[in-house]
């Protein structure tokens, strides 16, 4: 009589190919997925001709290579939120115009926008400044 | 003399199963946490902001602007007249004239203003600047 040796029992499904496939899937999802959380800042478009109407009574923030001016007075980026907040308190929905000189990169502009939005600015627009 | 008992040889499966468990967990994490979309034709490192306003990832017209100042729209790089024409076409079909601008953090303000001017002349009324959430 032949008795089967229990040690010789083989698994029906081998694990190794399964793991291979799972690894490949893992790499695919790791490389193909993005985790950037997008945020947005709304900017109004001011036309150069009709600018005077929208600019009237607006808060003017000038961003130049050396720093920031708020309504003509130099201000540090850290103090911008508080300083702009004082102007915005006086009148609700006051437009804020950001004038950017050439040579200023977008990250700096976005930092400025961030602070203005934090101060309660609702009507933001971007304009060209003086050319160097 | 006392000898330690030889350990019974364990099956390789016993070592591999925890590994497979972890890999499965990672797989499910990436499946659920990641979002998928077609890659952009331009490589863009968005500026970071603390803006609370969430941007819709799907939706209206998105204009891409990379660090070298190149423009792309609808997943296609376009220049000059062709771009202007496409913008006008797309904006005519769009209500409200909202354009989303996905620009690189290193783009010069002068170039942004140039692009904004082009968008305005093509009929855009409002621009939504896309930024990434600042981490840390």
Alpha carbons A15 and B16: distance in angstroms, whole number: 9
Confirm or reject contact between A61 and chain B (CB < 8 A). Answer: no
Q: Where are the domains of chain B?
A: 48-133
List CB contacts (< 8 A) between A113 and chain B.
49, 51, 129
CATH dotted code for B48-133:
3.30.420.270
Average pLDDT of B4-30?
80
Query: Within a domain: residue A22?
Result: no
Name the residue facing B55 among A29, A33, A40 (closest C-beta). A40
| Structural contact between residues A95 and A57, judged by C-beta atoms closer than 8 angstroms | yes
Query: Within a domain: residue A102?
Result: yes
Provide the β-strand partners of residue B61.
B99
Tell which wins on pLDDT, A84 or B36.
Answer: A84
pLDDT band (50, 70, 90) for residue B112: confident
Provide the number of structural domains found in chain A. 1
pLDDT band (50, 70, 90) for residue A24: very high
Confirm or reject contact between A111 and chain B (CB < 8 A). Answer: yes
Domain of residue A94, CATH code: 3.30.420.270
Query: Within a domain: residue A25?
Result: no
For the stretch A54-66, pLDDT in tens is 566 788 888 888 8
Question: In the predicted model, is pLDDT for residue A48 greater than 60?
Answer: no
Radius of gyration of chain B from Cα atoms?
A: 25
Average pLDDT of B57-62?
71
pLDDT band (50, 70, 90) for residue A132: very low
């Amino acid at each position: 009589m032949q008795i089967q040796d229990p040690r010789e029992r083989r698994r029906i499904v081998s694990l190794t190919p399964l793991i291979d496939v799972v690894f490949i899937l893992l790499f695919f999802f790791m490389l193909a997925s993005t985790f950037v959380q997008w945020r947005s800042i709304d900017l109004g478009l001011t036309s150069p001709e009709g600018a005077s109407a929208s600019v009237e009574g607006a808060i003017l923030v000038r961003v130049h290579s050396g720093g920031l001016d708020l309504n003509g007075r130099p201000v540090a980026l850290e103090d911008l939120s508080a300083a702009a907040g004082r102007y915005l308190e006086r009148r609700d929905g006051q437009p804020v115009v950001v004038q950017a000189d050439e040579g200023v990169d977008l990250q700096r502009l976005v930092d400025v926008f961030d602070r203005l939005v934090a101060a309660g600015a609702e009507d933001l627009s971007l304009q060209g400044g003086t050319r160097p | 003399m006392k000898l330690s008992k030889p350990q019974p040889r364990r099956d390789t499966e016993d070592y591999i199963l925890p590994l497979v468990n972890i890999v499965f967990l990672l797989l499910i994490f990436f499946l659920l946490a990641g979002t998928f979309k077609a890659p952009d034709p331009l490589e863009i490192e968005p500026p970071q902001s603390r803006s609370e306003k969430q941007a819709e990832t799907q939706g209206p017209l998105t204009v891409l602007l990379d660090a070298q100042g190149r423009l792309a729209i609808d997943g296609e790089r376009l220049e000059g007249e062709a771009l202007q024409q496409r913008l006008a076409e797309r904006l005519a079909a769009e209500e409200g004239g909202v354009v989303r601008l996905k620009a690189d953090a290193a783009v010069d303000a002068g170039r942004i203003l140039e692009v904004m001017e082009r968008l305005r002349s093509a009929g855009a009324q409002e621009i939504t600047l896309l930024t990434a959430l600042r981490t840390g």
